Amino acid sequence: MYDFEFKTFEEMTPDDYSRVGFMSGLEVHQQLLTEKKLFCRCPAGLYSNHYDAEILRHMRPTLSELGEYDGTALMEFKTKKDIIYRIHHDTVCTYEMDDTPPFQINDQALDIALEIAMLTNAKIVDEMHIARKQYLDGSIPTGFQRTAIVSVGGSIPYKDREIRLIQMSIEEDSCREASDIGHKRTYIADRLGMPLIETVTYPDMKTPTEVAEVNDIIRRLSRCTGKVRTGVGAGREDVNVSVTGGTRIEIKGVPSIKRIPLLTYNEAMRQWNLLRIREELHRRGITQDKFEYRIDDITKLLRKTYYQPISKAIEEGLFVKCVTLRGFKGILTWKTQTDTFFSKEISDRVRVIACLTSLPNIINSDSQENTLSTSAGLKIRKTVGASEEDTLVIVWGNQSDSEMGANEVVIRAREATIGVPSETRQALRDGTTGFERILPGPDRMYPDTDLPPKKITKERLDSISLNTVKPYWVYEKWFDEIRVPKDLRRDLAGSKFIRFFETCVKELKIEPKFAGIVLIQYPKRLKRKKLDIDLLTENDFRKVFELYSENKIVKDSIFSLLEKIIKNGGYSDELITEPCSGKALEDIYKSVKEELKSTKIIKEEKREKIIMGMMMYHLRSKVNGSEVYEYVKSRNFGK
């Protein structure tokens, strides 16, 4: 059944993905551009690694609204981590540290979320209920994230079909992780509480490339409002992947869309290969019920080993445990992802749950790597009663960590007989995924008793829709009609000036290409000159276009006028350079011609350039260059 073998990333075709039943959905997180945080009045968007104080907390699992404990919550509790928060007085108040109840939700943030929801034709909820979503990893000091559904359903166009949306929620961002070593995890709390939205799609994407492309659409859609944050960390995505017979696996916190294709490819391959491993185990007669193992303490046996990680551990008084997996021979070296093997699945669990974070944290008898000597291996096999067909996995740490580590080895190996365990996975740099935690379910949702439900009134929605943009794809169709050059389209459709661009074209009758250049390319050029282009307002542009329409300035003067506006801190009539009359052009030409007579032109073919340069010296911003050129050309370049 699982006889297909994954090809390299480049060789995989859409048919191959269809063969394995590749399915993927997205959870796209986007920070909103607000002044303040979501549930307190701390400033939003200030980041610094400097901190004034540290706070220590531990997390305990609690019951969900439906009276169940969540699997992830119990797993995190098992890890017994000290959670340290680094706080900066300027960006963190007593709310983020969970010492003050929440304040009312930030209306600016809610309006932005509603506006973006409207662009997808989603159903806006009538009454918003704020929920607590448990996170026991400590990334939020309360142990839960405040989150609420803003809209349900909706869709976005993709190729010739629609990608359906499940829901969109508004929520507070979590802390930034600074480190996670052993039993201590450290967070920086400045990002905590920043408003963001999460857009969740159905698993409608059928290849890794499609996932990235759809993600790009969602990102651009929110950006076209001009009311979301951009830059590092402002947009992050969780990607859900499954294959036929596999499980929905969430790859958390993918920092860049570019990395999605390779990550989803590797995750699909991992699931497929785990199913192949299951098939092999079943063939060997090892099922969930017939799975056999034993755990032994082998510290004494390894007193004299030369294998450095273990000899050092024993020297430090740590313990070494050996797990015997009956009939597993060779399984740990089965490939799961690119250059990654099944042993990594086990090592990850041991690292995260038993907190044995310095690698290597396990060694195994399937591996060809040089670890224990052959004689030591034989001695262990004999002592624990293992046969040639069994795999030995060795783990070391203090008493409780090594015990928990050995248990995790057993748990993960047993899961191999069942299939693909539900978990969330990290996006690793090499494009593979690594275990992060057990996948949380709906059991971790709990209503927020600190805040009442919030009615979303029709008046509020009406006033938002009056001032909203259209989805960028609507503009892009229009760009086709009015022939906006291709290189301008993407930026223009996502620009905060897109509505103004419409006004320029429809009301001020500016030529679309030129309006696009002024609104998009000029600011880019000015930015390269290290000018603060945020100082250019819609009103400044409007003034410039009006002057241009009324022939009060020439086209070629607009760039330098914008530059002057920025330097001046706003538009003023003194900044404009008035166009020259035909008489003035003639006068200048005469004087330039005189000057040329006294100059010896060595290379005659440069004459055009030289005379143009001399003319423009006097006429720049007063007459368009093209007109000057036509004039001197008609006079035969001063010959």
Partner 1 sequence: MNMSNPGILESKMEDKELYKGYKGQSLETLKKFKAMIWCDVEVITSDGDFIGIILPRSETADANHIVLKLRSGYNIGLAANKVNNIKINGRKEIQYKIPEKEFPYSPKKPRVKLFGTGGTIASRLDYRTGAVIPAFSPGELYGSVPELADICNLETEKLYGVFSENMGPEQWKGLAEAIGKEIEKGVQGIVIGHGTDTMHHTAAILSFMVQNSPVPIVMVGSQRSSDRPSSDAALNLMHSVKTAAESDIAEVMVCMFGPTSDSYGLLHQGTRLRKMHSSYRSTFRTIGDIPIAMVDRQKITPLRKDYSKRRNDKNVIINTAFEERVSIVYYYPNMKPDIIDSLIDNGYKGIIIAGTGLGHVNKPLYPSLQRAKDNNIAVYMTVQTLWGYVQMYVYDTGRDMMELGVVPTANMLPEVAYMKLCWALGQSNDLEEVKRIMLTPISHDITEREPSNGYLIYQGGIPEVEEFISKYRK
Q: Enumerate binding residues for partner 1 (CB under 8 A).
A: 51-67, 73, 89, 94, 97-101, 123, 125-129, 131-134, 136, 141-144, 147-149, 152-153, 166-167, 169, 200, 441-447, 449, 452-453, 455
Q: What is the DSSP code (8-state) at residue 519?
A: I
Closest distance to partner 1 from the beta carbon of 57 (Å): 5
Total number of residues shown for the chain:
639
Q: What's the token pair of residue 443?
A: 């059991």
What is the closest distance, in whole angstroms, from the C-beta atom of residue 67 to partner 1 in the complex?
5
**Closer Cβ to partner 1, 296 or 436, answer by number:** 436
Contacts of 586 (CB under 8 A, 6+ apart): none
Question: Of the two residues 97 and 610, which places its CB atom closer to partner 1 in the complex?
Answer: 97
Closest distance to partner 1 from the beta carbon of 62 (Å): 5
Q: CB 422: neighbour CB atoms within 10 A? A: 16
Q: Which is nearer to partner 1, 66 or 602 (CB)?
A: 66
Residues in contact with 20: Cβ distance below 8 Å, sequence separation at least 6, in sequence order:
4, 6, 243, 244, 268, 272
Helix (H) / strand (E) element for 595: namely helix 582-597
Least distance in angstroms from the C-beta of 107 to partner 1: 18
CB 320 within 8 A of CB 393: no
3-state class (DSSP) for residue 310: helix
Q: Closest separation between CB of residue 96 and partner 1, Å?
A: 12
Residue reference for tokens 């400045």: 190
Q: Which is nearer to partner 1, 150 or 628 (CB)?
A: 150
CA-nearest of 46, 24, 20, 26 to 35 is 46
Q: What is the CA radius of gyration of the chain?
A: 32
Nearer to partner 1, 322 or 404 (CB): 404
Whichever of 95 and 475 has its CB closer to partner 1, that residue is 95
CB of 197 to partner 1, least distance (A): 14
Which three-class secondary structure string do you get for 8-46? CCCCCCHHHHHHHCCEEEEEEEEEECCCECCCCCCECCC
Beta pairing class for 319-325 and 293-297: antiparallel
Q: How far is the CB of 431 from partner 1 (least distance, A)?
A: 29
Residue with Cβ nearer partner 1 (125 or 526): 125
Q: Of 336, 322, 319, 327, whose CA–CA distance to 414 is shortest?
A: 327
Based on CB atoms, which residue is closest to partner 1, 453 or 570? Answer: 453
Q: Write the CB contacts of 43 (distance below 8 Å, at least 6 apart in sequence).
A: 35, 36, 37, 90, 91
Q: What six digits make up the tokens of 190?
A: 């400045």
Closest approach of Cβ 245 to partner 1, in Å?
23
Task: Tell the smallest beta-carbon distance from residue 45 to partner 1 (Å).
Answer: 24
Phi, psi values for residue 433, rounded to 5°: -115, 150
Smallest gap from residue 365 Cβ to partner 1 (A): 37
Q: Which is nearer to partner 1, 80 or 524 (CB)?
A: 80
102's CB contacts (< 8 A; 6+ apart) are 39, 40, 95, 146, 448, 450, 451
Helix axes 458-466, 107-118, angle to 10 degrees: 70
Between 70 and 296, name the residue whose CB sits nearer to partner 1: 70
